[in-house]
Chain A
Amino acid sequence: MVRVKSRYLLCEINVTDRSSLLLLNDKAIAAAVKEVVARIHGDYGAAMCFLRFSVKYLNTQTGMVFLRFPKMSYKLLWSALPFITSIDTRWKKIPCFLNCLHVGGTIRTCQKFLIRYNTQQLHRMLPNCQNEEEKEKIRKAILSCSIIQGAFEDERDDNEDEP
């Protein structure tokens, strides 16, 4: 089939101060990306960035972001991402850098990767815990994201009855 093809980049926003992550929004990230591409690749790059670039998903709690680039020029745009050192929000400049975790052809693959990555991260967090309370919470969290699959089945049934 013929369709417009894109590349989805799953990036992690790394900040020194985690609380400042909550200030971010998708517009700010998009502006930062555009700005850095324009700086690195000039007008050509900026034009590329205008084409089909968008921020598809942003989670300020975890700092995950999905960026969509046109497949034709995603390498060019991707190459500019490491030059982001800070993101301008309306109130303050947040120093950060983007870490690209995954490049996918569809959002779905990115989502799948993200699931894997997140659970992995949770497992990694577990041994680093300092007190029991935290440990307990993390265990809970890990359990919740594995059990959740069964819960979804029920939900799906509910949803099906709706339409």
Chain B
Amino acid sequence: MSAAKVKMRQKKLRNQPASVQCLSSSVHDEASTHPNGGGGDGPSGKDALSLRKKRSHQETGWVRGHQKSGEVYGDKMPQFITAGVFARARAAEVSAMLKAVTKTTGSCHVFGALPRHMRRRAMSHNTKRLPCRLREMANRMREKCLQGSVKKKEQAKNKSRKARRRHGNMLLEFNRRQRKNVWLETHIWHAKRFHMVKKWGYCLGDRPTLKCYRPSYRAMSTHCLLQDLSYYCCIELQGEEDKLLDCLSQLTSKEAGPTFAQRLCLSGQRQGSLVLYRAGQFPSQPLGSATFLWRPRTPGSVHRHLWTWVHPTLKQDVLAEFQSVCQCQAVVPPPVPLVIDAKVVSTTDWEPKPERKHTPGTKRKQSDKDAGGPLAKKILGDGTRSPDTPVTWKSSSTGILINDLTMEIVRYRLIGPQSHSVLTEALEAATDCDESIKSQPSCLWWPNHCKEESKMKLHQQQTDLFHTLKGVYSTAELPPGIVLGLTVDDPRLSIPPKRVKALSCVKEAQEVSDEKRKELSLRGVPEHCCESFLWEQSVRNNVTENKISEQDLNRMRSEVLVPGSRLNPVPLQGRVPILLVHQPGKQVGHEMNSWGAGWDLLLPKGWGMAFWIPLVYRDVRIGGLKMSLTHSQNKGVPHFPHDYPDCPAGAHFQGEQESELLEKFKRRPPAKRTNYIKHGCLAPFCCPWQQLAEEWDVIGSEGGIQAQSASLDDMATRVERTSHHQVPVTKQQTHFTVLRTRKSLRLLSSWCGPTSSQGQRSYRVREMPSLDHTAKKSFLASHGMSLVWVRLSVLLKGKPDLHAMVSVPTADDLKLLSRGGPGSSAPQEPPHRDHLKSTLKRGKKGTKKVASDTPSTSGQMTTTSNDPQLSCPASDVVLGVWPNPLPSVTSHCSRVTLGWVTQADFSLSAGCGEALGFVSVTGLVHTLISQPLEHRGTVLLRNPMSLQYRFAKINIEV
């Protein structure tokens, strides 16, 4: 019986009389001597009795059965009993019985004392249902029970719903809720329509509550899908170009693709993307992927601005790395809030000025000064950060300034071929302002701009370019990554009364600017047009400060003479600098080229909803995190952090995913769970990449000695042999890496055979060294411990799942494939035996004997026997999942494992199951070299929950 049960029982039986017996000799002596001596010695005898009773109470409460303690019954029992003692015993018994009868047993409820027929429904709720005599006691008891909970409840509900829903109170409540996780500006909009998740310190929409997976895909491929990517963190670097490039070059490598110094990007015309590494650690310690954008050069100045956009999980690492590389340790304190003056800092005479950072706290102060303003102010930007968190760092030696612009800039992503037409329809280039306004000094930025001829000229050029966009047929036509700076009117002014689908109007625009359009799609945006005032901190702040509230705007609209007509002239505050950045579509592979291209819209903070609603009214679909995963999967680019297992953020993500999946697995009843052991799946929740790389490294080194015999079966036997003693052999602490060197990837890709998923042979553009043993040796010497990111498309049928295994087909399997026909089936894995279960059972029975020779699962299975974990304690074992440490991962199944799949789905663009995953480079090269030419790059895929293998084609797209 558990302790709680005992306690419960004691409480229940505390009033019940215990048996009165002679228990121990001492009590007996005491009891017996006094009556003997006194003959009628009352009080002492009573004492003895009560003492005895007390003892029995203390010991057990309710004495039942034989008491072990009472052994020595003396012969000296009382010779006679007087009437007085006997009477007292009777009386004591009566009192004990009375107590037992009057007091209710069991629960403390008063109505327990009532007979059944007098009990009423909801008695504990309403004491008036009780008879009068019990009412008082019930009231007392009720108060005592509810004391704690009532207090709390009443506190929470002290405001009526109406009061709670009042605007000011609502804002207060929202601000309170924002303190823990950052809310994007579109949070409320999303929260009403999306399943929200708390991730990376943000509240993000995961997927819409509507069923719209396919419509969203269709929107991406034919129209436009909108996403809020404001959670991406922007880090600004300012300094001289040479110095910046010098510092940043440590973080990247030319081998892994273009760096910060890429010519087109450096001019500010294009956005670039790259993988960051820890300073000077190129192949080994990657941090993660980032996109970057240079501000175009200002003539006569070497001072540059650089924005680096990174994922929030990556931000702290990247920021620290930037600081160490640029030697920026001195914190520039966030300045005292200043009232924004009219002066707009011109771009030419840049000097490091104190930052004007507007934190929620300072905002509130400001509004207090204004007086009359509401106390609560909407939080813009990062609500979780305290006002005195440093956001700016400066280096004294290099003069570089690092600025953390997290949540300062809103970023929307439009994906799809029609995204440019959505933009051109939703946005309108800013209108000039009148002469009269120009002459007056103004605290707004736009009138000041209008005064300067050069700026207006630039604006005119940008506007022209923006208009040419209308004539473009598809977003994909444009050169990838182009940037266009622009100033637009407040888009709220041109919201259509109903949702209308924005479509490109090629025809009417064609006659107007055919030439211009061609130039745009060939050369992109000229350098000076990439300039935007969004880069200016002061302009950004000015725009954010002076935004017209929705309420005012509506009032102005209602005052218009013709209802529904456009506001004219446009209020001066409604000019917003924006930046349009083109996102390249699918650039790798041969089919679906430039699928998923789109535009990124960068806005100053505070304007998020003002742009969001007009965009939504152009009938775009809205996607969440899930859809961005699908997007990158179809696009064939690795998605951060899912596809970066060697980065700290990726490793962290994997851990999270594992615990999440395990939790989900454990939620099922044990009898309904998949037994992954029986399916021969070692790692259904988390892929042991390190172990895979190590094991293949060992196999590769052994293979080098034995050299030439390269049949698949031979390899299998080799794998088996190595797996037996692989545990002690691999002790080197080299961490696995993901292969990102372009040259090697290209080589590997050419070895893989045709790089199209459907198996058509493509043209070899360049002559690559063909795959032979010398090439293999030299290749593996440098990339022994690497993984490579591959794309797998299923050849016949089957839809791969998350963490499906990628295996090497044997020669027989390939024969099966070449025999062809629709009926030809892929091989099957023989079911494994769950020896763990039997061990557990044996353990339950009490025999601690550990199986020294568990029979291997099948003829091919050789490794599962005598594994160390058979003897592991059964405490944290989940049935159906292999406990740590895992046995040899490569040779666990009948087909040798190459790697695992990290993302898998039925690809709507390819029309077959597609998967993205990692395989060991060593394993891949060994496999390729041993396969006949016509089947090169064919592998087997097997889902964790099935025994059926499926043929798939491996592609490495560079």
Answer whether A58 and B83 are a contact pair too, CB < 8 Å, given A145-B91, A148-B95, A152-B102. no
- Is B347's beta carbon under 8 Å from chain A? no
Knowing A60-B22, A122-B90 are in contact, say whether A23-B98 is a contact too (CB < 8 A).
Answer: no
B585 to chain A, nearest CB (A): 70
For B108, the chain A residues whose CB sits under 8 A away are 160, 163
- B97 contacts the other chain (CB 8 A): yes
21 contacts between A and B (CB under 8 A): A19-B81, A20-B77, A22-B28, A22-B77, A23-B22, A26-B63, A26-B66, A54-B65, A58-B21, A90-B73, A91-B73, A111-B100, A112-B97, A114-B93, A115-B98, A125-B83, A125-B87, A137-B42, A137-B84, A142-B91, A156-B103
A64 to B90, CA, bound (A): 10
**Most chain A beta carbons < 10 A, residue from B28, B79, B80, B98:** B98
Q: Closest approach, in angstroms, between the C-beta of A90 and any C-beta of chain B?
A: 7
User: B94–A145 contact, CB under 8 A?
Assistant: yes
Indicate whether A62 sits within 8 Å of B93 (C-beta atoms), given known contacts A19-B80, A19-B81, A22-B22. yes
A87-106 Cβ-contact flags toward B at 8 Å (1 or 0) = 00111000000000000000
Q: Are B87 and A141 in contact (CB under 8 A)?
A: yes
CA distance A155 to B40 in the complex (A): 30
> What mask results when residues 470 to 481 of chain B are scored 1 for a CB within 8 Å of chain A, else 0?
000000000000
Cα–Cα distance between A39 and B22 once the two chains are bound (Å): 29
Q: Which residues of A contact B65 (CB under 8 A)?
A: 26-27, 54
Asked if A24 is at the interface of the complex by the 8 Å CB criterion, the answer is yes
Interchain CB contact under 8 A, A25 and B70: yes
Complexed CA–CA distance, A147 and B18 (Å): 22
Contacts A119-B94, A148-B95, A163-B108 given; does A134 touch B40 at CB 8 Å: yes
Q: Are A26 and B64 in contact (CB under 8 A)?
A: yes
Complex Cα gap A114–B95 (Å): 10
* Distance in Å: Cβ of B16 to nearest Cβ of chain A: 8
Query: Quick one: which of B18, B65, B87, B95 has the most chain A CB within 10 A?
Result: B87
Most A Cβ at <10 Å: residue of B28, B79, B102: B102
Find out whether the CB atom of A118 lies under 8 angstroms from the CB atom of B90.
yes
| Contact pattern, A 53-84, Cβ under 8 Å of B = 1, otherwise 0 | 01111111110100000000000000000000
Rounded to whole angstroms, the CA-CA distance of A122 and B89 in the bound complex is 10
Name which residue of chain B comes closest to A112, CB basis.
Answer: B101
Given contacts A19-B79, A138-B87, A141-B87, contact A163 B93 (CB under 8 A): no
Contact B101 A61 (CB under 8 A): no
B98 smallest CB distance to A (angstroms): 6
> Across the interface, do A60 and B20 meet the contact criterion of CB distance under 8 Å?
yes
Interface centre among B19, B91, B103, by most chain A C-beta atoms within 10 angstroms, is B91
Q: Considering the complex, give the chain A residue whose CB is closest to the CB of B35.
A: A19
Q: A133-B40, A141-B88, A142-B91 are in contact. Are A57 and B79 (CB under 8 A)?
A: no
Complexed CA–CA distance, A115 and B17 (Å): 13
* CA distance in complex: A129, B14 (Å): 36
Question: When the two chains form their complex, are residues B95 and A61 in contact, meaning their CB atoms are under 8 A apart?
Answer: no
Cβ of A3 under 8 Å from chain B: no
Chain B residues closer than 8 Å to A137, beta-carbon distance: 40, 42, 83-84, 87-88
Interface string of A112-148 (1 = CB under 8 A from B): 1011001101100100011001100110011011001
A16 beta carbon closer than 8 Å to chain B: no
SS of A interface (majority): helix
Chain B stretch 777-798: residues in CB contact (< 8 A) with chain A: none
Asked if B81 and A62 make an inter-chain contact with CB atoms under 8 angstroms apart, the answer reads no
Determine if B414 is an interface residue (Cβ-Cβ < 8 Å). Answer: no
Provide the B281-325 mask, 1 if CB < 8 A to any CB of A, else 0: 000000000000000000000000000000000000000000000
- Distance in angstroms from B531 CB to nearest chain A CB is 76
B residues less than 8 Å from A159 (CB atoms): 14
Cβ-based interface call for A18 (8 A): yes
Residue-by-residue, is B17-51 near A (CB-CB < 8 Å gives 1, otherwise 0)? 11111100000100100000000101000000100
Residue B82 at the chain A interface, CB threshold 8 Å: yes
Bound CA span A111–B97, Å: 6
Do residues A108 and B101 form an inter-chain contact, with CB atoms below 8 A? yes
Cβ-defined contact, B93 with A61, below 8 A: yes
- The interface residues of chain B lying within 8 Å CB-to-CB of A27 are 65-66
Residue in chain A with minimal CB distance to B140: A160
| B119 interface residue per 8 A CB criterion | no
A90 to B73, CA, bound (A): 9
Instruction: For B18, give the chain A residue with the smallest CB separation.
Output: A57
| Residue B11 at the chain A interface, CB threshold 8 Å | yes
Cα distance A144–B91 in the bound complex, in angstroms: 7
Interface residues as binary, B49-93 with A (CB distance below 8 Å gives 1, 0 otherwise)? 100000000000001111100100100011111111011111111
Tell me the minimal C-beta distance from A81 to chain B in angstroms.
19
User: Which residue on B lies nearest to A90, using beta carbons?
Assistant: B73
B99 sits at the interface (CB 8 A): yes
Please name all residues of chain A whose beta carbon is closer than 8 Å to the beta carbon of B63 when the two chains form the complex: 26
The 4 A-B residue pairs whose C-beta atoms are closest, nearest first, are A61-B89, A137-B84, A27-B66, A141-B91
Chain A residues lying within 8 Å of B83, measured Cβ to Cβ, are 125, 129-130, 134, 137-138
Task: Write out the residue numbers on chain B whose beta carbons fall within 8 Å of the beta carbon of A108.
Answer: 100-101
Distance of A149 Cα from B94 Cα, bound (Å): 11
Best-buried of B84, B94, B101 by chain A (most CB within 10 Å): B94
Q: Please give 16 more A-B residue pairs, beta carbons under 8 A apart, in addition to A26-B66, A55-B19, A152-B98.
A: A19-B80, A25-B22, A54-B64, A59-B89, A60-B20, A60-B21, A60-B22, A62-B89, A111-B97, A137-B84, A137-B87, A137-B88, A142-B87, A144-B95, A156-B103, A163-B108
A64 to chain B, nearest CB (A): 7
CB-CB under 8 A from B66, the residues of chain A are 25-27
Q: Which of B219-236 contact A (CB under 8 A)?
A: none
Question: Which residues does chain B contribute within 8 Å of A121, judged by CB atoms?
Answer: 90
Across the interface, do A149 and B98 meet the contact criterion of CB distance under 8 Å? yes
| A118–chain B nearest beta-carbon distance, Å | 5
Are B73 and A61 in touch, CB under 8 angstroms? no
User: Do residues B49 and A61 form an inter-chain contact, with CB atoms below 8 A?
Assistant: yes
A145 to B94, CA, bound (A): 6
- For the complex formed, measure the closest distance between the CB of A11 and the CB atoms of chain B, giving whole angstroms: 14
B82 contacts A134, CB within 8 Å?
yes
Pairwise interchain contact A64-B93, C-beta atoms closer than 8 A = yes
Question: Are A114 and B97 in contact, CB atoms less than 8 angstroms apart?
Answer: yes
In the complex, which of the residues A25, A121, A141, A145 has the most CB atoms of chain B within 10 Å of its own CB atom? A141
Q: A125-B87, A149-B102, A152-B99 are in contact. Are A61 and B94 (CB under 8 A)?
A: no
Beta-carbon contact of B84 and A134 below 8 Å: yes
A159 to B102, CA, bound (A): 14
If the complex has contacts A56-B64, A141-B87, A145-B94, are A115 and B101 also in contact, measured as CB distance less than 8 A? yes
Nearest residue, chain B, Cβ from A61:
B89
Residue numbers in A under 8 Å from B102 (CB-CB)? 149, 152
Tell me, rounded to whole Å, the shortest Cβ–Cβ distance linking A63 to chain B.
Answer: 9
List A contacts of B78 (CB < 8 A). Answer: 19, 22
CB distance from B43 to the nearest CB of A (A): 10
B556 vs chain A, min Cβ distance (A)? 67
- Give the interface centre of A24, A118, A119, A133 by most chain B CB atoms within 10 Å: A118
Given contact pairs A25-B21, A129-B83, A118 touches B88 in the complex (Cβ within 8 A): no
Given contacts A56-B64, A62-B90, contact A24 B11 (CB under 8 A): no
User: Which listed residue, B19, B49, B73, B77, touches A19 by the CB 8 Å rule?
Assistant: B77
Q: Is the CB–CB distance between B21 and A24 below 8 Å?
A: yes
Contact B73 A23 (CB under 8 A): yes
Across the interface, which residues of B come within 8 angstroms of A54, CB to CB? 64-65
Instruction: Collect the chain B residues with CB atoms within 8 Å of residue A55's CB.
Output: 19, 64
A148: contacting residue among B88, B89, B98, B100, CB under 8 A: B98
The CA of A111 and the CA of B70, in the complex, are separated in Å by 27
- Bound together, the chains give a CA A163 to CA B81 distance in angstroms of 41
B790: shortest Cβ distance to chain A, in Å?
65
Residues of A near B28 (CB, < 8 A) are: 22
Among candidates B14, B81, B99, residue contacting A18 with C-beta atoms closer than 8 Å: B81
- For A148, the chain B residues whose CB sits under 8 A away are 94-95, 98
Report yes or no: A61 in contact with B84, Cβ–Cβ below 8 A. Answer: no
Question: Do the beta carbons of A57 and B94 come within 8 Å of each other?
Answer: no
Contact of A57 among B17, B40, B77, B88 (CB under 8 A): B17
